[in-house]
C-alpha cells in the first residue's frame, strides 16, 4: 500500500470503517513507514484533544428543580403575596426565564457541536460503512492495477465469467453505444461477502459498479455522495443493490446510472 493511499485511509482506519484486509494492509504499512505513522499519531492526538476539550457540559443537579420552581404557576394567593412582598421580583421573572432559556440553548448547541465533531463516538451507520468500503475498493482497484479479473468489452463474456464464482448472477450490460463501454469485471469483497465489480470506461476515467443481492429486495431511491473527488451513487433495482463510483463528473455519473437502470429494468412503454 502506498503512502498516498495509506494517508487517505487513515481517518477511516481511526473510525474503524475499513474492512479486515485493508486494516491489515494499513497496519503492515504503518509498522514500516514513519511518515504515515506520524500522520496517524497526529490525527489520534487531534481526536484526543477534541474528546478532552470542554465541548459538552452536564447541567448542574439543581437546575431542573430551579427551572421547575420558576415555571410553576403561582396560586392567586402567592401572586398577591409576591406582588406585595417583592414587587421587583414580579418584574424580573420574564428576565429570569429568558436567562434559563439562553442557558438551555447554549447547552443544546454544545451537545450538537460535540456530536458533529466526534463522529467516531457515534460509530458509522451500515450505509456509511459500505460507502467507505466501496470508495476504498474503487481507489485500490485503480492504484493496485487490479482493475479487472476478466478484461472484455463483451457482456456475453463477462456475465458467464461470474458463473460459479458468485452465488448470484449479476446483470451485465454494455453501454458502448452511449459512450460508456464495458471493459471488464472482477470479484471484490464488500460487507463481508463476495460481490461483482463491473468496470466501465468514460474516456480516460473508470467507473466501478459493485453489484450484490439486496436483502431488502425493493426498489429504492438513488443516493448520491461525493468523497475526496469521487462521486458515488447507490441504488437498488430488480433485487440487486448497486453502487457506482468514479471520478467522472457528477452529471456524467448520473447519466451513466440512468442508462444502466434503463437497460436493467426497461421502463414500461
Ligand atoms: Zn507511508
pLDDT in tens, 113-172: 777 666 555 566 777 888 888 988 898 888 766 788 888 889 999 999 999 889 999 999
Task: Say whether pLDDT at 259 is over 90.
Answer: yes
Give me the mean pLDDT over the 53-79 stretch: 72
Ligand 1 geometric centre to CA of 42 (Å)? 14
Taking the C-alpha atoms of residue 124 and residue 127, their distance in angstroms, rounded to an integer, is: 8
Task: Say whether pLDDT at 203 is over 70.
Answer: yes
Ligand 1 geometric centre to CA of 9 (Å)? 11
Ligand 1 geometric centre to CA of 187 (Å)? 27
Report the helix count and the strand count for the chain, using DSSP H and E: 10, 7
Of the spans 18-27, 102-111, 211-220, 228-237, which averages the highest pLDDT? 228-237
- The share of the chain scoring above pLDDT 90, in percent, equals 32
Task: Establish how many alpha carbons lie within 13 A of residue 32's alpha carbon, considering only the half-sphere containing its beta carbon.
Answer: 9
Task: Say whether pLDDT at 191 is over 90.
Answer: no
Q: Which of 165-169, 256-260, 263-267 has the lowest mean pLDDT?
A: 263-267
Give me the mean pLDDT over the 229-241 stretch: 90
Q: Which long-range contacts (CB under 8 A, 24 or more apart) does 23-29 make?
A: 25/1, 26/1, 28/1, 29/1, 29/3
- Which cell numbers in the block locate residue 149? 479479473
**How confident is the model at residue 127, as a pLDDT?**
78
Cβ neighbour number for residue 208 with a 10 Å cutoff: 25
Cβ neighbour number for residue 267 with a 10 Å cutoff: 6
Ligand 1 geometric centre to CA of 23 (Å)? 14
Ligand 1 geometric centre to CA of 11 (Å)? 14
SS3 state at 53: coil
Give me the mean pLDDT over the 219-234 stretch: 85
Ligand 1 geometric centre to CA of 252 (Å)? 33
Residue with more model confidence, 28 or 55? 28
CB atoms within 5 A of ion ligand 1 belong to 3, 6, 33, 36
Ligand 1 geometric centre to CA of 141 (Å)? 19
Taking the C-alpha atoms of residue 57 and residue 4, their distance in angstroms, rounded to an integer, is: 39
Task: Say whether pLDDT at 44 is over 80.
Answer: yes
Q: Which residues of 129-148 are buried (b: 16+ CB within 10 A; e: fewer)?
A: bbbbbbbbbbbbbbeeeebb
Please give the torsion angle defined by the CA atoms of residues 64, 65, 68 and 69, in that order, rounded to the nearest 10 degrees: -150
**How confident is the model at residue 14, as a pLDDT?**
87
Model pLDDT for residues 73-106, shown as the tens digit of each residue: 565 555 544 444 455 566 667 777 777 888 888 8
Q: Looking only at Cα atoms, what is the longest distance across the chain?
A: 94
Give me the mean pLDDT over the 240-268 stretch: 88
Task: Establish how many alpha carbons lie within 13 A of residue 98's alpha carbon, considering only the half-sphere containing its beta carbon.
Answer: 5
**How confident is the model at residue 180, as a pLDDT?**
96
For the question of whether the overall pTM of this predicted structure is more than 0.95, the answer is: no
**How confident is the model at residue 33, as a pLDDT?**
92
Amino acid at each position: 500500500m502506498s503512502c498516498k493511499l495509506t494517508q487517505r485511509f487513515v481517518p477511516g482506519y481511526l473510525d474503524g470503517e475499513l474492512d479486515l484486509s485493508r486494516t491489515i494492509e494499513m497496519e503492515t504499512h504503518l509498522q514500516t513507514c514513519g511518515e504515515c505513522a506520524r500522520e496517524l499519531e497526529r490525527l489520534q492526538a487531534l481526536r484526543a484533544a477534541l474528546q478532552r476539550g470542554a465541548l459538552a457540559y452536564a447541567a448542574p443537579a439543581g437546575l431542573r428543580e430551579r427551572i421547575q420552581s420558576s415555571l410553576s404557576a403561582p396560586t392567586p394567593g402567592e401572586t398577591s403575596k409576591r406582588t406585595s412582598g417583592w414587587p421587583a421580583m414580579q418584574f424580573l421573572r420574564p428576565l429570569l426565564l429568558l436567562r434559563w432559556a439562553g442557558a438551555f440553548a447554549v447547552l443544546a448547541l454544545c451537545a450538537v457541536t460535540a456530536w458533529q465533531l466526534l463522529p467516531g463516538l457515534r460509530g458509522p451507520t451500515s450505509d456509511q460503512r459500505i460507502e467507505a468500503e466501496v470508495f476504498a475498493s474503487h481507489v485500490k482497484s485503480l492504484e493496485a492495477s487490479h482493475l479487472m479479473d476478466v478484461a472484455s468489452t463483451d457482456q456475453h463474456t463477462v456475465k458467464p465469467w461470474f458463473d460459479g464464482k458468485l452465488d448470484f448472477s449479476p446483470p451485465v450490460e454494455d453501454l458502448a453505444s452511449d459512450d460508456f463501454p464495458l471493459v471488464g469485471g472482477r470479484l471484490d469483497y464488500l460487507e463481508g461477502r463476495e460481490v461483482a465489480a463491473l468496470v466501465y470506461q468514460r474516456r480516460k476515467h473508470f467507473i466501478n459498479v459493485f453489484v450484490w443481492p439486496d436483502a431488502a429486495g425493493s426498489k429504492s431511491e438513488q443516493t448520491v455522495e461525493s468523497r475526496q473527488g469521487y462521486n458515488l451513487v447507490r441504488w437498488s433495482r430488480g433485487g440487486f443493490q448497486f453502487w457506482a463510483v468514479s471520478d467522472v463528473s457528477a452529471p456524467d455519473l448520473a447519466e451513466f446510472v440512468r442508462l444502466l437502470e434503463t437497460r436493467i429494468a426497461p421502463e414500461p412503454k
